[in-house]
Amino acid sequence: MKKRTLPGKPEQLGNILHKILKKLDVPHKRTDRRIVDLWNRAVGDQIASRTLPETLRRGSLHVLVSSSAWLHQLQFLKEEILVRLNELSGAEEFRRLFFSIGEIPEISTPDAEKKTPPFSAGELKERDRRMMAESLAAIKDADLRETIQRVMLAEIIRRREIQKRKRV
């Protein structure tokens, strides 16, 4: 019978659970809540809703991004994000950022309903619908297209309210 040897140093419980779940083929997310909170505070709501920090190993933070458009944009913001993360953590624990495209879970917020416009695109004038369709057709990224559509709707609403005030 082979003698079992103990590892040299204690292993974190999270690592042990990760190995067991992986061996049993149980789907799971291995994300440190502290890192997610730091990330969300460092990048703000808009970027946080399109990204998910996964692991931090030896100063390298690996982050999932919802699309190639967001990945490309975040490449330009890497240094600023690293500085902000280290400021918020109070240490120099973040040295590198690595982005990869992956599935980001939807996070429903109670404010989500408040941000939707008071009317839908179906209630727009034909001229407005045609102008929006032409403008949005060139945008390949679905998330970006949806965001721009919401901005366009908000602008149309704003202009209609200004027109109503001028009439009164």
Mark which of 101, 130, 154 sits at the end of a domain. 101
Cα(61)–Cα(54) distance, integer angstroms: 7
The total of other beta-carbon atoms located within 10 Å of residue 52's CB is 21
| Same domain? 123 vs 75 | no
Q: What burial letters (b/e) apply to 27-47, b meaning 16+ CB within 10 Å?
A: eeeeeeeebeebbbebbeeeb
Q: Which among 19-23, 38-42, 54-58 has the top mean pLDDT?
A: 38-42
**Of 21 and 132, more confident:** 132
Number of domains within the chain: 2
**Of 149 and 81, more confident:** 81
DSSP string of 42-57, one letter each residue? HH-HHHHTTEEEEEEE
The residue segments making up the domain with residue 118 are 112-167
In a domain, 20, yes or no: no
pTM of this prediction? 0.50
Assess whether pLDDT exceeds 90 at residue 167: no
| Same domain? 86 vs 143 | no
| Same domain? 88 vs 133 | no
Tens digit of each residue's pLDDT (9 = 90 or more) over 131-159: 888 888 888 888 888 888 888 887 887 77
Mark which of 72, 101, 130 sits at the end of a domain. 101
Mean pLDDT, residues 87-110 taken together: 81
In a domain, 18, yes or no: no
Q: Are 151 and 119 in contact (CB under 8 A)?
A: no
Which residue shows structure tokens 């067991």?
Answer: 20
In order of 72, 155, 156, 163, the CA distances from 101 in angstroms are: 10, 31, 33, 43
Per-residue confidence (pLDDT) for residue 110, from 0 to 100: 43
- Looking at the chain, the number of H-run helices and the number of E-run strands are 7, 3
In a domain, 4, yes or no: no
Assess whether pLDDT exceeds 90 at residue 97: yes
Per-residue confidence (pLDDT) for residue 124, from 0 to 100: 73
Mean pLDDT, residues 69-79 taken together: 91
